[in-house]
């Protein structure tokens, strides 16, 4: 031990035995190891400016960093190389600071500059270049897992470039690392946060998005939360939290409880599950509008004009009040023409139990699948039917009294299909096309009109339980 190498000495074996006898303390235990001092993970050691190492050739040092470089060179018995020629210097520093080689014009200008501070002026010019931010944004964007597409199978494009530009601008403006950190982690939580500070939190939205058919939407929302935890920890804490996702780890200072407390911060954002039908869809998180200054001015003008016109619409007149009363009378007269249909056959595709009540309504019980299809057959002697009314009612047997069966008593209706046939030709079924769908109440974003929309991205109808 080790294999193929010299065996451990008695002193080394004794050290290992002593460590085991003390319970094999890890680096996070705070116990003294061989040095007699508590060991702490480097990420949690407060940085302190060290003393400059002593060097023999102090004349060579122009700044504090040179002392460390020269100290190591002298330790290895090496001497500093001669200063590079100006052509090499401009190429090196331009590539370092901008990622680009110098142009011929820039090269000629620097070579012709005999000012003793020519190199310092060159560096200042490169630091002021917009390419500086582009060059040095790249390492951070890699840490932030930035990409212009969603990843996975479809790999559609995403609108994330504004966050990329924010990082570039922050570097070009020499933003302090403190502000750089605060605005990316919680810029939207700052008092009176600006549009740019909200854009900075795009750091958390660089997660991959799976748009493949058949994916579990909630599962991939969870993957996004896990990715945000792991990335935030790696980028700012200088450590990983991934092990604690599943269990406490003897080498990590974070427990599993710590992990899920940390994850809870990211599990507070709003989101919708976009249902595309047939089990397809994905998580849709809030989007931030990014108008240009010109568009912002135009938007304010239009909003003011709309408010003015809305005031006119809201103003009542004798003619309007008379027309309103006539319309209400007409509607009340038409209300009595509704006929309650008696279901002759009804079934649940998901195995739920449907019970016909005395008022001809159907009460659902038994199995409660995530998605279900109800089929109802009925007969009527009515002719010239112009509308179909679906009523959802509450019942004590439903969660929170209903009207739905989800844990909060809500429901989501994704589609309604109706087929009709003459009584004497029941096999001649024809699909009924609805022109409009209205509801007394709808949940925001889930209006009844979605049931008849021709938009392939439509969702469905739901109410606030």
pLDDT tens profile 207-222 = 888 777 777 778 888 8
Neighbouring residues of 129: CB distance < 8 A, sequence distance ≥ 6: 97, 98
User: CA-CA distance, 181 to 200, in Å (whole number)?
Assistant: 9
What pTM was computed for the model?
Answer: 0.59
CA angle 433–434–437, rounded 5-degree value: 160
Model confidence pLDDT, tens digit, residues 30-81: 444 444 455 577 777 888 899 999 999 999 999 999 999 999 999 999 999 9
Q: How far is CA 15 from the centre of its chain?
A: 49
CB contact at 8 A, 460 and 446: yes
User: CA-CA distance, 213 to 210, in Å (whole number)?
Assistant: 9
Name the DSSP letter for residue 398: S
| pLDDT score, position 210 | 79
| pLDDT score, position 430 | 92
Can you list the positions of beta strands (E) in 102-225?
none
Model confidence pLDDT, tens digit, residues 187-245: 999 999 999 999 999 999 888 887 777 777 788 888 889 999 999 999 998 888 888 99
User: CA-CA distance, 88 to 107, in Å (whole number)?
Assistant: 10
Can you name the residues that pair with 461 across neighbouring β-strands?
Answer: 413
User: CA-CA distance, 226 to 184, in Å (whole number)?
Assistant: 17
| pLDDT score, position 55 | 95
Counting as low any pLDDT under 50, the low residues of the chain are: 28-36, 278
| pLDDT score, position 241 | 87
């Amino acid at each position: 031990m080790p294999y193929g190498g010299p065996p451990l000495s008695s002193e080394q074996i004794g050290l290992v035995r002593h460590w085991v006898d003390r319970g094999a303390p890890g680096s996070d235990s705070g116990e003294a190891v061989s040095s007699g001092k508590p060991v702490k993970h480097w990420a949690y050691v407060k940085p302190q400016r060290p003393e400059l190492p002593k060097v023999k050739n102090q004349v060579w040092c122009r700044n504090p960093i040179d002392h460390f470089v020269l100290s190591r060179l002298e330790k290895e018995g090496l001497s500093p190389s001669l200063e590079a020629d100006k052509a090499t210097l401009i190429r090196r520093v331009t590539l370092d600071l901008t990622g680009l080689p110098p142009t011929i014009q820039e090269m000629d200008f620097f070579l012709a500059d005999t000012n003793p501070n020519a190199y310092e002026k060159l560096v200042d010019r490169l630091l002021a270049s917009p390419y500086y931010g582009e060059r040095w944004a790249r390492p951070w964007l890699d840490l932030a897992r930035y990409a212009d597409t969603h990843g996975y199978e479809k790999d559609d494009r995403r609108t994330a470039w504004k966050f990329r530009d924010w990082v570039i601008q922050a570097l070009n403006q020499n933003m302090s690392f403190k502000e750089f950190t605060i605005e990316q982690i919680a810029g939207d939580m700052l008092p009176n946060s600006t549009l740019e500070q909200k854009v900075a939190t795009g750091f958390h939205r660089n997660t991959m998005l799976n748009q493949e058919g058949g994916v579990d939407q909630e599962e991939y929302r969870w993957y996004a939360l896990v990715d945000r935890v792991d990335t935030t920890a790696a980028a700012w804490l200088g450590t990983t939290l991934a092990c604690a996702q599943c269990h406490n780890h003897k080498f990590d200072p974070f427990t599993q409880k710590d992990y899920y407390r940390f994850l809870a911060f990211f599990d507070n954002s709003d989101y919708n599950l976009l249902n595309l039908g047939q089990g397809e869809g994905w998580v849709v998180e809030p989007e931030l509008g990014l108008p240009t200054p010109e568009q912002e001015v135009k938007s304010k003008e239009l909003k003011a004009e709309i408010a003015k016109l809305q005031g006119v619409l809201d103003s009542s007149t004798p003619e309007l009040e008379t027309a309103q009363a006539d319309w209400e009378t007409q509607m009340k007269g038409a209300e009595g023409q509704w006929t309650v249909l008696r279901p002759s056959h009804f079934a649940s595709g998901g195995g739920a139990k449907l019970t016909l009540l005395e008022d001809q309504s159907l009460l659902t019980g038994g199995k409660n699948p995530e998605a279900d299809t109800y089929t109802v057959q009925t007969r009527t002697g009515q002719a010239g039917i112009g509308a179909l009314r679906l009523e959802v009612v509450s019942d004590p047997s439903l969660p929170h009294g209903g009207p739905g069966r989800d844990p909060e008593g809500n429901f989501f209706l994704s589609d309604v299909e109706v087929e009709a046939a003459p009584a004497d030709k029941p096999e001649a079924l024809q699909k009924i096309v609805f022109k409009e769908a209205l509801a007394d109440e709808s949940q925001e974003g889930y209006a009844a009109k979605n049931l008849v929309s021709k938009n392939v991205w439509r969702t469905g109808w739901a109410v606030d339980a």
